[in-house]
Structure 1
Amino acid sequence: MPPNERLRVRLEQSGHTAASLAAHVGTDPKTVARWISTGRVPHRRNAHAVARLLGADADELWPSRERPSRSTRETDTDEDLVAVHRQRSDVPVEQWRGMFAAAERSIDVLVYAAVFLHEQIPDWNDLLRARAEAGVRVRVLIGDPGCEAVRVRGEEESFGHGIQSRCHLAAMHYRPLAAAPGVSVMVHSTTLYNSLYRADDHMYVNTHLYGVNAYGNPLLRLRRTAPKGLFDAYADSVDAVWRTARPLEE
């Protein structure tokens, strides 16, 4: 297939690179390069995500792509889903860091522990503090190591007291931020159906399969495209848990 000149021109005009476009869409830069150099047509959701980011129409960028049937258009209306990753560990740490570092309005983290953030992003606390100083609202929700929900999760994942220990470790990591202006760290005791990581209109949803540790579970990448969509449904759940939580003691 011939190169996709429409996509190449739109990309240049937008100021994005193949790498930055890939980071926004949730794919690999090599895949974006193939869309341009070989004219390969991406999956429908990726095509729409790219078009929105570049201020174009998907049919303009890929005139030959297969159009969904009328019945499909009527039943599949939520375009918030950008990508699905087989497991959380498939997403490069640079992509995680980049999403949060680009936040301009709000950052939300709803987890039990997620100590991988501190382990793989050594300046994680500094990043959150810097975004808060720039006016970003930062909210972090971690699990209460003594609550029933955490105990049960440990049994389900055959991890025993490991999850409780990681909740204690998360609290230790976040305690220096407890008094930082613009940063709120809370402790919750709710059953965690999904771990949620939000930066403005971008979100990772780490689903939880029974008996599987979080890093091995599927990860959804969402981008808010309209009110009351899939993104807002998950964002509302963060607010609901926030209302039940208590502050982390300094």
Structure 2
Amino acid sequence: MVMRNWVEEEDKFISIRTPGLDQAVKRAMNALTGMEGVHKSHALRRALEKAVDVAKQDARYVAQKTYTATPKKLFENMSIGYHSDNDGQEGELEFTGSWGLHLYHFEPLPAIPGRRPRGGVTTKVHQKGRRYAKELDGFDAPFVMRRRQGDYGLFAHVTGTGWGSVRGSAREEPKNLWKNSVTMLWGPSPIQALMPEKTQQRIIDHAAGVFTQHLRREVEALLASLTRG
């Protein structure tokens, strides 16, 4: 299978495109050459919809088994579709989603503002990974703070500008100095769980099998209706 990895779009969404399902579509087009165009088109579309639904379920399962974030957060910005050329013979599955999730969604400890462990708030990103406090060069230990939107986020101050620092506590400094030197920490996008080629191949193979199976049913139902008619 040929695959193109990360494609970053202008709106900060990421796409993975996996050409593979098109082979099953090509075989189907050849098998349906004698069928009336409109019937063939409807049968292909319905079978493809079933295949894409299966691919979506598989992709969600992989992401959910990989990361600790809740399914709601993992998939609220994730979509899967099949894009093809005009005659439907060339196409690819496309997995699209936000370029990352707030690190706060990966089991922060402690999860509310107030307590500030010396080493910083820890998170556990991978289901089978370890818990640790994320470290960024030039930044202090991570801490939890309420965001403008009303929910919580995980942040870090530029070293020397946080609460309790000499600069941050100096009265001659601007009141909002610390706000201008804080950054929110990000975790992975659920789509990163789909990066391994073997994972993509399993999803494509499953989707292609479902496509073929449902197309056969569509054709059988169509032939039966034509015979009755």
Structure-2-length-normalised TM-score: 0.25
The structure in which a higher percent of residues are helix is 1
Larger relative contact order (CA 8 Å, sep ≥ 6): 2
Q: Please identify the structure whose Cα radius of gyration is greater.
A: 2
